[in-house]
Structure formats: C-alpha cells, structure tokens
Amino acid sequence: MKEDSNLTEPIGQNLIKVISNVCFSVFVFAVLIVTVIAITYQPPDPWLESSPALTKLFTQFHNATFQNDNSVLKTGEDLPDFGIAETPAVAPAVMPITEAVIEEKEERVTNMSLKSDCDLAGPVNCSDPRVLIAVERFNLRFFKAIVFLEYQTPVRGSAPNECDVSWRFRNKKEKSWRKYRDFRRFRIGVGENCTYRVTGANGWHSGVNARRQRSRGNATRSGGGIGRIAPPVRDEEINDTIPLLGSEMTFRKGKYLYYSRGGDYCKGMNHFLWSFLCGLGEAQYLNRTFVMDLSICLAATYNPSNKDEEGKDFRYYFDFEHLKEVASIVEEGEFLRDWKKWDHSRKRKVPVRKVATYKVTPMQLSKDRSTIIWRQFDAPEPENYWYRVCEGQAAKYIQRPWHALWKSKRLMNIVTEISGRMDWDFDAVHVVRGEKAQNKELWPHLDSDTSPDALLAKLKEMVHPWRNLYIATNEPFYNYFDKLRSQYKVHLLDDYKELWGNTSDWYNETRLLNRGRPVEFDGYMRVAVDTEVLYRAKTRVETFYNLTKDCKDGINTC
C-alpha cells in the first residue's frame, strides 16, 4: 500500500502542474492577442463610428433642403479633436490681447512717464498709446465672442475727437488659426490727467481711414458711377497658387498616388469629400504625394437649374492654402504635363503601377517602389467609388485627414462680415421648409409648425424681443418672415447680397480664379454661409429640436 501511495503522489502533482501551465499559457496568449489588437487598431474616422455607418451617412443622397448637420459637411475647423488632427506647424503663434496684456502695456506706458500733448479743448492725439489702450479695453468688454490678436496704431477719424482703429481677430467658435480684419471709428473722451475713454463706437468696417490698402489687378475699369464692375482684387492673406513640380530629377525622385476620375464625380458634396479624404488618407499612409483634380462637378441639388454643373473650382469651397500646408499634394494638370514631358524626354519611362480595382488594398501597395501608383476606377457604380479603397480591412490603417480640410476663407470672410455687422451679438433660428414642408406624409406637422404665427409664438419663449435674429432657411419667399419683424431685428442671407455682388471682394477674387469669368454664388455656398452664421449665434433654435415634433428624416426616424 505504501508503494502505491508513493507512485500516485507524483502523478497527481504532475497533473496539477500540467493543468496550471496550460492555464497560464492560455492566459498569456490571450493577453498577447489583446495587446496586439490594442496596438494595431486605429479608429478609422474622427467620430469613432464604424466605417460602414459613416460611409452610409456621407454618401446617401440629399436634396437641397437646408440641413446644417448633413448638407454641409463639418470640416477640420469644426470637428472636435480626437487626437488624430494635430495643430499644423505653420499656425502662427500670436498672443491674444487680454486684460492682463493691456494692464502690462498700461504699466509700461506709465513707467515711461510719457508726456502727452493732449489738449482738453483740442483734437485727440490718436497716436498716443493710451488711446489704443482705451480702445482695447472697450473691445474686450463689448465683443466677447471674438479673440483680439493684434492692433494697428490708431489714426485720425473725420472729427477732432474720433480715431479709426484696425485690428485682426478670430472667432472663439472657429478652431482654425485664420485671422480676420475689422476697422472701426471710435469717439474718444479726454478726462483729467489726459486719461482716455471710449464714449462711442461706430459699426463694422466704419473706420475707413485705418483700412489697409488692398492690391488690385491691372484690369481696366468699365464705366463709372453706381453699378460699375470693380477691378479685380487680390487678398494677400490667401495663397491659392498651384504648386509646381520643378525639374525632371525632382519629378522622378517623387512618389505619387494618382486617382482617375470615378463615379464620385457629380455626386453630392458630402459623397465627394468622403471619397477625396479617403484618397488623401491613402497617400499619407503610403507616404506619397496625392494628385488632386481641382475641378469639381457640383451636383444638381445645389443648382437652380437642377442640372449638374462641371468646372467648379475646389478653391471656391475649400481652403487650398491650408491643404497645401498640411498635406503633400500636386494639381492634376501640372502633374500630367510633367509626366508626359519627362516620360518622353528619355528612353527610360517613368515607372508606373496601374491598379485596376479598389480590392487591391493600401497595405498591398505599401512596399511598391513605382514613381506613380495609378488607381483606375473604370468599373460600374458603385464599384468605381473612391471611398471603396478605405473600406474593410483598410479602415484600420487609413485615417481620413479631416484637419487638412477647411472651408474657403473667401466664404468665411462673408460669414465674418455678416456676423460683424450684427456686432457678434445675435440669435438664430434654423427653419427647414422647402420640399419637406410640402410632404405631409413624412412630415405632417412641419408646415404648420414653421408658419409665421407658430414661429413667433415659439421664439417668444426662447429669444428676447428686439434682439438681432438671423434666420437660416431654405424658404424661397423673402417676405415669409415679415411677421417676426414686429418683435425682432430680422436678418436673412439675402439681406447681404452685396457681399457676393459684382462690386464685392468675393466676386473679384473668385473671378480671378475663373480666368476672368464671373462665378455664381451657388446653392452650396449659400448653405455653407447660412450654416456658419447659425453656428456663431448666442442662442440657436433648431427646427427638429425646438419647433416641431416631426422627425428630421421622416415619421418614426427619431
């Protein structure tokens, strides 16, 4: 019996050891798998949703009804930072003008024992540093929605007690570092010991003596008087020039990713951008320069003619300067000219890898050494959509560079002007009507809930009387909202037509891009401006959240 006991004891102990080792191995293997997944997995998109869900969202068809959440895609200056969009290195570091900065400046002026030549009975000395300090304090107190970045020295206004002052700023709700300019006329009061204070200020762009001179083209002025066409104007702060490739050696040393035009052309803008950012994201993954076509086909839904319109310039809608600064890109026409030129200059052809299907993944191309990878999208729809490249397994590796895409500064200048004319102190209501209001089957209450009487009743509960009220809407009849004028200072986009009329900066600048031909202020531009002004309001009243219980996408979709 003792011998049997001695024999079974080691077997039992060995069995326990084996089981323990197996369990520990399984545990280590599971930890290893989880670790590998955690290291290699990357969220495909900045909103941390599934790629198929976002693909459906951005490529579904929309009509021209104003929808501030779908019809105009949020771009890099709107999206929250999820850690994938780094602040570009080119962003200028400008110290905002704060109360602490003003106090430090005031102390410095006092310590200098500045002798002022102010005369209580004479004109104000606008170049006195204390005049600017008074203006800076006034602006901080009254314009809380914007960040003041830099001021120019005040100059004389039109009266002895007036000074015109120019400054640059940005809106607190805009995440980009772009700067805008305002110049206003201030009435300056002089107190004891030559202290200065602002006793009054005029409106947006009223300080014309402080306006910086803009460079103008050499075009001849046509006619004179009211209605004449202004000569072309160049905004030095916008650099829309197309980058050049340079010499043959530069071209051959480069690595390019070229997408042929596919089924995305003439689709909705959201569809186009979803695909464009896929291509740009693949180029960044492959460490290649992306060849981009600046020509856009604007879908019929944005055009009064209800027809697709080709030949629209990417730069009308988006900030090409910013894109050039944060991504490696080359314009398609420039690229094709150089390719053809250098391909025939020697017997040695430029190495090209043609990819006929999106099913060839970016990972499979990562080690390709060809100068040009040419993706061709010749299959029938939907096999010829660019965004198909970023689906499936590729979604784990390709990040769409949302931070590279900003709205055109020319459009944002219009947004800034509209907001500035209301002194950055306004509320807004988003009124969806159009086709949705006529479709009683899907939106049974929308028409009545957005009627003038219903609007007035609802707004009285949410917006104080006689406030500036901006109405972002697709309602085509301008006088539809007249009843609201009895309680509010109503503003509509069409109140500011001169900002894109034939004497405007926008008109002249876009005409230069279009080889001297006028550019239409189209439906997408209108919705983009409407959306951005709405976004800057202090109080926003939404159609499908505040005005009606109907669902945004129809019955039973809430």
If you average pLDDT over every residue of the chain, what do you get? 84
Identify whether 433 is part of a domain.
yes
Structure tokens at 311: 């030949």
Residues 316 and 342 reside in one and the same domain: yes
pLDDT at site 62: 40
Would you mind telling me the total number of residues written for the chain in this entry? 558
d(CA 184, CA 207): 4
Number of domains the chain is built from: 3
**How does pLDDT run across 269-289, given as a tens digit for each residue?**
999 999 999 999 999 999 999
pLDDT at 168 over 80: yes
Give 29 or 524, the one with higher predicted confidence: 524
Residues 6 or more apart in contact with residue 434 via CB below 8 angstroms: 63, 64, 65, 66, 474, 475, 476
d(CA 355, CA 365): 9
**How does pLDDT run across 194-204, given as a tens digit for each residue?**
789 999 999 99
Identify whether 479 is part of a domain.
yes
Residues 398 and 416 reside in one and the same domain: no
Identify whether 283 is part of a domain.
yes
Residue 511: which CATH number? 3.40.50
Residues 287 and 191 reside in one and the same domain: no
pLDDT at 388 over 70: yes
Residues 76 and 110 reside in one and the same domain: no
Structure tokens at 132: 């600017």
CA angle, residues 364, 365, 371, in degrees to nearest 5 = 165
**How does pLDDT run across 507-521, given as a tens digit for each residue?**
999 999 999 999 999
Q: Which of 474, 445, 429 is nearest to 551 (CA)?
A: 445
Q: Which of 165, 181, 216 is the last residue of a domain?
A: 216
Identify whether 126 is part of a domain.
yes
pLDDT band at 56 (very low <50, low <70, confident <90, very high): low
Residues 385 and 428 reside in one and the same domain: no
Residues 366 and 476 reside in one and the same domain: no
* Structural domain boundaries, residue 262: 51-86+239-404
Identify whether 22 is part of a domain.
no
- Asked if residue 362 lies in contact with residue 386, where contact means CB atoms within 8 angstroms, the answer is no
Residues 413 and 390 reside in one and the same domain: no
Identify whether 191 is part of a domain.
yes
Q: Which of 170, 185, 216 is the last residue of a domain?
A: 216
Which of 58-72, 100-114, 401-415 has the weakest average pLDDT?
58-72
